[in-house]
Amino acid sequence: MSTLTERNGTARDTASAEVAAGYRAGRTLPLRVELVRQLKRRRTLVMGAVLAALPFVLVIAFAIGGTPDGGPDGDRVNLMDTATSSGANFAAVNLFVSAGFLLVIPVALFCGDTVASEAGWSSLRYLLAAPVPRMRLLWSKLVVGLGLSLAAMVLLPVVALVVGTAAYGWGPLQIPTGGALEPGTAAQRLVVVVAYIFVSQLVTAGLAFWLSTRTDAPLGAVGGAVGLTIVGNVLDAVTALGDWRDFLPAHWQFAWADAVQATPEWSGMVQGAAVSVTYALVLFALAFRGFVRKDVVS
């Protein structure tokens, strides 16, 4: 009897129900939906194409310029000189030439453009009024932005490995300082390298994402993040700063080279990861804090 009354009560109360049928805040803007919204954009496709094309460009460059092995100053061997030894070497060289700048761009783009472009299109206010809770919206956007960034970083070495293997054969990874890593070990090390590059780029991601929540101009957020990364690189080149440079994320961006050795050396990568993650957490926190309180007027 009491159940029946209650049921009647519920039916009558639909006029003042808090939510529409089937709405649950936790289900709004699912990752899959956000991914579809971003994937179909031209900039995503162009970025993917650029990264996939780089290995081909390098193969052509080495074909025209000749193999770098045994250059004139044979005593100063670096990773570049081993590029054509094997597919694994070629993949490592691709990462080496792009880690400093080329891989910064997809991260800044995917994390910096994501909220600002919605604000620019005015679609942000309709998502928020759907309502997608603000934390939920940022979370979906951040996960998809980071996911696309990671995909870009995986895409480059995978294409390079395939192209390099086709061009130079499958073989052990020749270490510039002497020795070689078996293909199986080499593959593991490349995974470590990609993982480290991803973690070291989190600071750029954090910066871009924070800027994205502050502006309606996507170019401002992306450009700001790329610009500050460049400033970091410049400061790192100022040797007079001495130990202060340890606090610059840019100081550690090539620490992954320690993994391309007979015995990997971890301390540099651990420090670099710690610096990057610390900055990133602060920046992500700023983004969430600011966005939740913000008046959306775009």
Name the site residues for other proteins (rule: CB under 8 A): 15-30, 33-34, 36-37, 40-42, 121-134, 136, 292, 295-297
Smaller CB distance to other proteins: residue 141 or 189? 141
Smaller CB distance to other proteins: residue 35 or 102? 35
Least distance to other proteins from the beta carbon of 20, Å?
A: 4
Smaller CB distance to other proteins: residue 67 or 298? 298
Smaller CB distance to other proteins: residue 132 or 283? 132
Least distance to other proteins from the beta carbon of 130, Å?
A: 5
- Write a three-state SS string for the chain: CHHHHHHHHHHHHHHHCCCCCCCCHHHCCCHHHHHHHHHCCHHHHHHHHHHHHHHHHHHHHHHHHCCCCCCCCCCCCCHHHHCCCCHHHHHHHHHHHHHCCCCHHHHHHHHHHHHHHHHHHCHHHHHHCCCCCHHHHHHHHHHHHHHHHHHHHHHHHHHHHHHHHHHHCCCCEECCCCCEECHHHHHHHHHHHHHHHHHHCHHHHHHHHHHHHHCCCHHHHHHHHHHHHHHHHHHHHCHHHHHHHHHCHHHHCCHHHHHCCCCCCCHHHHHHHHHHHHHHHHHHHHHHHHHHHCCCCC
Smaller CB distance to other proteins: residue 1 or 19? 19
Least distance to other proteins from the beta carbon of 105, Å?
A: 20
Least distance to other proteins from the beta carbon of 134, Å?
A: 6
Least distance to other proteins from the beta carbon of 109, Å?
A: 15
